[in-house]
Amino acid sequence: MNRAVKVSKGTVIMIVAVVLVLIAGKNAYYKVNEQEQAVVTMFGKVTDVKSAGLYFKVPFIENVHKVDTTTHGMQIGYTNMSDPYQQVYTTVEYEALMITSDFNFVDIDFYLEYRVSDPKKFLYTSGDPISILRNLTQDSIRSTVIDYTVDEVITTGKNQIQASVREKLTQALADADIGIEVVNLSVQDAEPPTTAVMQAFKAVETAKQGADTAVNNAKQYQNEQIPAAEASADKITQQAEAQKEARIAEAEGQAARFGELYEQYALNPTITRQRLFYETMEDVLPELKVIVSDGKTQSVLPLDSFTSEAPAENSRGGEE
C-alpha cells in the first residue's frame, strides 16, 4: 500500500516536470512580424529591441513586449460612425472649437497620421503616450489657429495652418521624447460653429463679394472716363491755344493799324482828328445826321454819312 502511494507520487512529479519542460520550451521562442518590433526585458530592465524574425529567450526570466510600428490615424475634432449606407461624422466640440485672431470662433477638424519610432521610449517613457500625443496635437492646433483670421481659417489659410501645426507638433514630440513621430497631418474641414454664425458668415462673404464687385465696376468706370477726360482736356487746350493765337494776331493787327493811323495823324493832325471824331460818332450814334454850317446862313444843308451812298431822291433831284 505504501509502495503504491510512493509510485503514484513519483509519477505525478514526472508529469509536472514534463509539463514544465514543455511550457518552458514553448515560451523559449517568439516571433516578431514585419510590422512589429519587440522590446526584451530581464527583471524589468530593457536588454534588447528586436525587429522581424524568430528569436530565443530565457523562459520565466526574459519578457517580450511587441509594439506595432505601422502608421496609425487619429481624428482631432470629430468622430465618425459607420452605418450600412454612409459615414456619419460628429463634431467633438471641445476639440474642434477654436478662437481666431479676430476674436471669432470656428470649428476645425484635423486628421493625424503617426507611428511609433522608438518602441522602448513608447513603452517606458510615459504611462499613456497616445493621450500625450492627442494633447500635444490640440495644443499645436490652438496655438496656430489663434494667429489667423476666421476668413483665412475657413478659406485661404488651410495649407499654411496645417504646415505650421505639423512643424509645431514635430518639435513638441521631439521635446517630449515619447517615441512617436508624425507621418502626416491635414485639415479635414473648417466652418463656423453654429447655424446662426454660419449664416452671418455667409452674409459677410456675400457683402465682401458685393464690395469687390463695386470696386471692380468703379475701376472699370475710371478706366473708361479717364481717357475721355484726357481727350476733352486736350481739346480744350487746343481750343485755348487757337483762341490765344487769334487774340495775339488780332492785337498785332490793331497795333499795326494804330501805327499807320498815327503816321497819318502826324502828317495832318487836324484832318485826322476830325475824321476820327466823325467815325466814332457814327459808331456811337448811327442815326445821327451831320450838318455843316458857318453859323450865319439861314438854311442848312444836311449831309449823309461819309461812308454811305447818297439817297436816290437826292441823286434824281440833282439831275433835275
Q: Environment class of residue 154 by beta-carbon count within 10 Å: exposed (0-12), middle (13-18) or buried (19+)?
A: buried
- What is the CATH topology of the domain spanning 72-193? Tetrahydropterin Synthase; Chain A (3.30.479)
Residue 49 · residue 37 · CB < 8 Å: yes
Residue 46 · residue 124 · CB < 8 Å: yes
| Cα separation, 56 vs 25, whole angstroms | 10
Instruction: Select, from the ranges 75-84, 87-96, 241-250, 301-310, the one with the highest average predicted confidence (pLDDT).
Output: 241-250
pTM of the predicted structure, to 2 decimals: 0.55
- In sign, the C-alpha dihedral spanning 310, 311, 316, 320 is negative
DSSP class of residue 86? -
Quick: pLDDT tens for 9-52: 666 666 666 555 555 555 677 888 989 999 999 888 888 888 88
pLDDT the model gives residue 1:
44
C-alpha cell at 281: 460818332
Quick: pLDDT tens for 37-46: 999 998 888 8
pLDDT the model gives residue 182:
96
Which region holds residue 43: left if phi is over 0, alpha if psi is between -120 and 50, else beta?
A: left
Q: Which segment of 96-100, 178-182, 298-302 scores lowest on mean pLDDT?
A: 298-302
Quick: pLDDT tens for 173-192: 999 999 999 999 999 988 88
